[in-house]
Amino acid sequence: MVSATARAEVILCAGAIGSPQLLELSGLGQAARLQGLGIAVAQDLPGVGENLQDHLQIRTVFKVHNTPTLNTQAHSLWGKAKIAMEYALRRSGPMSMAPSQLGAFTRSDPSQPYPNLEYHVQPLSLDAFGEPLHTFDAITASVCNLNPSSRGTVHITSPDFQATPAIAPHYLSTEEDRRIAAASLRTTRRILAQPALAKYQPEEVKPGAQYQSDAELAQLAGDIATTIFHPVGTTKMGCVGGAHDDPMAVVDTRLAVRGVAGLRVVDAGVMPRITSGNTNAPTLMIAEKAAQWITEDAQPQ
């Protein structure tokens, strides 16, 4: 066992999954839950591990014609060798590309006050991450609801620090999220049906053009969707004390854990609501602000 001490502050930056896990293992969390696991309660914080939010990407697949995609370009050893040689000689080609080659923001319906859908499009397709590429030319148009109303949880199930926490994202658990999922699939279909793409003769493979009702599309959205790896919210920032006290806030507006001296959480878990886009840059900004506050609070008064 290794013990470490801090003269000023401990800064917890284990992410929206790891930070609530470490807080609960340390006795900071929902009192009844911790007591049930035999963990002594250091501070009753009911918001720890709650409020989990993520961007769920619905991965639609369209077969295309009259253009090669990575599915067929990388299907053979010779194709893979050509891709490698192009990168080695010219620093171009598929090996030089970002994971997604096209991104776009739009509204699921005109009533939305601002774009609430984000697209990531790739010139490839597969059944699931880790599976081989399809043998036919196709693209994947992934679309996600940027402002989900569904909320999940992250909680430990054992006092053993090596045991993984239970992650329950509860995707598509609200009627609003299911409605937007169905609308996003229809939006994708409208985009692929535009005249500019007619020469590629796109054919819907997933979820399948035969599915048309809201109920069918919402169900299938869950079947073909995956995380986009944007978990946030499980150590929520909020007002602590006063007339506007938020009992579910884990950290205050300077990221200090409520009721605990010398401890801050600085990661995406402090976001009260998920951002309307990728979470990396906002997390960097959170860290910059935290650095400023830590420096200010360390100054002699």
Active site members? 230
Which contacts of 165-170 are long-range, i.e. CB under 8 A and separated by 24 or more positions? 165/17, 165/20, 165/21, 165/49, 167/17, 167/52, 168/52, 169/52, 169/54, 169/56, 169/227, 169/231, 170/52
Rounded Cα–Cα distance for residues 178 and 108 (Å):
12
Rounded Cα–Cα distance for residues 301 and 297 (Å):
9
Asked if residues 155 and 165 have their Cβ atoms less than 8 Å apart, the reply is yes
The DSSP symbol for 256 reads: B
**Residue 220, Cβ neighbours under 10 Å: how many?**
19
Rounded Cα–Cα distance for residues 113 and 190 (Å):
21
Which residue is it, tokens 């507006």? Answer: 253
Rounded Cα–Cα distance for residues 144 and 261 (Å):
39
Asked if residues 51 and 236 have their Cβ atoms less than 8 Å apart, the reply is yes
**Residue 22, Cβ neighbours under 10 Å: how many?**
16
**Residue 113, Cβ neighbours under 10 Å: how many?**
6
Q: What b/e sequence results for 170-197 when a residue is b if at least 16 CB atoms lie within 10 Å of its CB, and e otherwise?
A: ebbeeeebbbbbbbbbebbbebbeeeee
Alpha-carbon dihedral 134, 135, 141, 144, rounded to 10 degrees: 0
Residue 36, Cβ density class (10 Å: 0-12 exposed, 13-18 middle, ≥19 buried): exposed
